[in-house]
Structure 1
Amino acid sequence: MSSSLRAHPRTRWWALAVIALTQLVVVLDGTIVSIALPRAQQSLDLSDGQRQWVVTAYALAFGALLLLGGRLSDYVGRKRIFMIGMVGFGAASLYGGFAQQGWELILARGLQGAFAALLAPAALALLTVTFPSGRDRNTAFAVFGIVAGTGAAVGLLLGGVLTEFADWRWCLFVNLFFVAVGLVGGALFLSESRADGDTHYDVWGTITVTLGLGALVYGFSLAENGWGQPLTIAFLALGAALLGAFVWIESRVAHPLLPPRIVADRVRGGAFLIQGVAGAIMIGATMYLTFHLQFVLGMGAFTAGLATLPLPIATMVVAPLATRLLPVIGPRPMLIVGPLLAAAGMLYLSGITPDGAYFLQVAPALVILGVGMALVFVPLQNLALTGIASEDAGVASAVANSAMQIGGSIGLSVFTAVYAASVGGHAQRDVTAQQLTDAYGWTFIVAAIFLVGASVIAVCMVRGSKDELMPAHGELAVAAH
């Protein structure tokens, strides 16, 4: 059983606001610097490869350390880890804002990701134990899912505003506001909870999964130089071998970092895979959209940020409707249709031309993409955590977050490789607007293929009746499996 202090019914909605704010900041930080990258690249004299790593360093550190962060929150205390993560995240943001060289910015982004890996699973675990069952749980998870789904797009808009009217460095300094609100709100409204019983740490599991994910993502990042390069193959093989070792270790240790029961469930495993695809789209594909808006269409950072608004607006408009529909039809139809709609949006976007009108070629695609992603995000978080034992809430929450961040890292690396292959490995300044547009179009086509794959995953893995997939309105298990 989990020993937790339940939030008072009148304060738990304030707790939801604090938790949603936390999710917003860790998700938007995956993209807030994307729209500022052209300015940051010029200011710090970054190469094209270093430019990608400003985004990848955050997502990689975040995704690779999430499992450890989730287990720490279960054992040390979810509120305590939440507060530690907040302070560290703020310090890393401050350091990045004052960076004078490219490596300093990349290091700061990695540190941000590491502390976000403490914050995110602690926040989602606190949400899980604060809203254990019933209609309120569905509402809370819908709110959380909407924030998770639109946070990346909000990051693009906020990044555009700050870059245009202040300085790209404020894309990092702005986090201090979120940290201050999170610390005060956390102290006032969050209740401590932790897992009871034995709290041994899985050292070898932590080492293998962290290094394995790191090697895998780094291998994908090297693929822009060619999939057949020895170093690319070596890192991809090393990552796969280390992750295989991690699976072997987890099946044999007494206190695994990732208990096999969490991912062994077919439905939950499918939800995690779909979440990975969602991360690839919202983190990876949206970055190349902002490049098209700025480098080809000639928009400033603020205008480019505004130009991404149809995506989050469409998601936020459709999400309440999807939330009401979820108990009626269940999650499976949404997770089949949603990715297909989103894929249609990406295919529409792949038809961009250098002189094409934004309102004809881009805006409609973003609306279609936003509608599709709303149908994905509303059921996804709830489905991923349904039936989880309360003592596993932190690590299960970490898997859900990790799937999105690692999906984002791998997706960005794959899209970068597709882009590099399309422009023949030439630097951006050496290619024409038509070549850039063609390259971005190919990344959007690959993104559409990813989304069709997510729909197939839903067909094959998210199986069962509505009541089987959402027992007792998404009730949280209170005993160990």
Structure 2
Amino acid sequence: MVSDSKRWLALALLCLTGFMIILDASIVLVAVPSIERELTFSTGGVQWVPSGYALMFGGLLLLGGRISDLLGRRRVFMTGLLLFAGSSLLCGFAWSGDALVLARGLQGAAAAVLAPSALSIVMTTFPSGPDRNKALGIWGATSGVGGTAGSLIGGPVTDGLGWQWIFFINVPVCVLVLVLAPVLLLDSRGPVRRGFDAAGAVTVTAALIVLVYAVIEAPASSAARTTLLALLSAVLFGLFVLVEKRSAAPLVPLRIFRSRALVGGNLITISWGLSAFGLNFVYTQYAQLALGASAIRYGLMCAVLAAAAVGGSILGQHLVTRAGPRVVAAVSLLVAGVGTTLMTRLTATSGYFELAFWGLTIFGAGLGAGTVAGSIAALSDVKGEDAGIASGLQNASFQIGGAVGVAVVSAVATASTSGTTPVALTHGYRTGFAIVWLFILIGFAGCLLVKRLLEVRSEESGNREPVVATSARRPPVKEASCSSSD
């Protein structure tokens, strides 16, 4: 067992790691114009700098979660830290566009090992009930803030030190966490299973890469080619399902999808990944290319988004235990939709406080509360034996959503732009903002699957405590035991 104070210190360390991982997905969006100017890319190729990371991250997260269950979560967590630090150095020293995209893919693969092990340690450190809900709420809030803080941090770093430093700053963070991890974190494993599902990892990752490639290339490709790529992606996803059904040790046990809360919570999380990364990407382009703002000025302009996300996450965590994740998620999505609608009214001559300030503030508040609700809905009632795979799935939902969101919004904005003047660019960006509403609708569909907050008797206290339940018939489950040794 571990003391209560040590549990919360461990959570702080894990949340710092989670913040760094999500930040690395968003901070690069600010630096994209600078990176494109300094390195050589093919037309539209720069989109693979953010998308390459998100794709490898999202595609391999499920395998990373499985590895952490089998080999020990703390050991895998620390290995992931070393890989992440090394790949961050490679990104900073990249000498060409192709080299950077490759290094970002390696960094995403490292994150796929690191993130699910961190989240599964959170879940095995805190038993099912109010404390786990609170811990997951803090984790979700950290992720939401990390997804928006990139704009605030990335601007000053890019303008002041150069885009390379958005990657170099990861190294001291990794070293700090590596030093403290053996002191604060317990190690644990899931049940012993046979082998790794390499075929499942290959097919699902290939399916995602083909899908996002099809979306990115759609504006410059024929309809027939785009349709062919989409069909190939669907076939690969179907093959993945067949592999999982027949595998003795599947990457994703299909039984976990019987949980409405897990499915609904992950749909909500996908929605936020699509929306947050999509809106952030197109606003980066609008501010720097249409309005001519510098990276540092853009970062300051987006400070309100990060601040609103922090406030929204704190409020969301407070409300989820009272109103339930479904209500909080639905209201948050509606709030974000209002902010998105304001962004569609931006013009090439709009002042920051005219519309963008209010649009970003409202969207950020919804994002902060909504990511907390989605995270709690997806994970609060997961069994200890499924901690790694459920953690990987929840992280994958956000990252895959982010990769597809950037690709879709970029493709739509490009297709809607008929020139290079600020007015022409703004027309395309406004269409990109409007598409975010389609992403929000996916989140509403997820809300329909998440059941209402149920009053069940807590195993720890014997009192009636509000927790999220995936089934009214299934009692709370006991967690897998943790050991303090490797």
- TM-score category by the smaller chain? over 0.9
Aligned ranges 1:48-447 → 2 under 5 Å: 48-226=43-221, 228-424=222-418, 431-447=420-436
Q: Is residue 478 from structure 1 mapped to residue 467 from structure 2 by the alignment?
A: no
Percent pairwise identity: 37
Give the Cα–Cα distance (whole angstroms) in 2 for the partners of residues 105 and 126 of structure 1. Answer: 31
Contact 1:61/1:113 (CA < 8 Å) preserved in 2?
Answer: yes
Give the Cα–Cα distance (whole angstroms) in 1 for the partners of residues 308 and 413 of structure 2. Answer: 28
Q: 1:478 to 1:472 in 2, by over 3 A?
A: farther
Give the Cα–Cα distance (whole angstroms) in 2 for the partners of residues 187 and 127 of structure 1. Answer: 15
- Per-residue deviation, residues 342-398 of structure 1 (Å, max 9, x unmatched): 011111101000111101110100111012112311222121013222111011100
Match of 1:427 in 2: none
Give the Cα–Cα distance (whole angstroms) in 1 for the partners of residues 315 and 61 of structure 2. Answer: 31
Contact 2:343/2:433 (CA < 8 Å) preserved in 1?
Answer: yes
Contact 1:11/1:189 (CA < 8 Å) preserved in 2?
Answer: yes
Aligned-residue offset at 1:412: 1.1
Aligned-residue offset at 1:164: 1.2
- The one-letter code of the counterpart of 2:96 is Q
Give the Cα–Cα distance (whole angstroms) in 2 for the partners of residues 334 and 277 of structure 1. Answer: 14
Query: What 5-or-longer segments of structure 1 have no aligned partner?
Result: 1-5, 425-429
- The one-letter code of the counterpart of 1:272 is N
Match of 2:37 in 1: 42
Contact 2:314/2:369 (CA < 8 Å) preserved in 1?
Answer: no
- Per-residue deviation, residues 304-355 of structure 1 (Å, max 9, x unmatched): 0111111121121232222222221111111211111101111110100011
Match of 1:31 in 2: 26
Give the Cα–Cα distance (whole angstroms) in 1 for the partners of residues 41 and 199 of structure 2. Answer: 36
Aligned-residue offset at 1:224: 2.8
* 26-35 vs 449-458, greater mean Cα deviation: 449-458
Contact 1:7/1:190 (CA < 8 Å) preserved in 2?
Answer: no
Contact 1:343/1:452 (CA < 8 Å) preserved in 2?
Answer: no
Q: Is residue 462 from structure 1 mapped to residue 462 from structure 2 by the alignment?
A: no
| TM-score, normalised relative to structure 1 | 0.93
- Per-residue deviation, residues 127-163 of structure 1 (Å, max 9, x unmatched): 0001123332222111111110110211121111111
Contact 1:340/1:452 (CA < 8 Å) preserved in 2?
Answer: no
| TM-score, normalised relative to structure 2 | 0.92
* Corresponding residue SS for 1:325: helix
Give the Cα–Cα distance (whole angstroms) in 2 for the partners of residues 63 and 45 of structure 1. Answer: 26
Matched pairs, number:
468
- Per-residue deviation, residues 155-191 of structure 1 (Å, max 9, x unmatched): 1211111111111110111111221122112122111
Aligned-residue offset at 1:101: 0.8
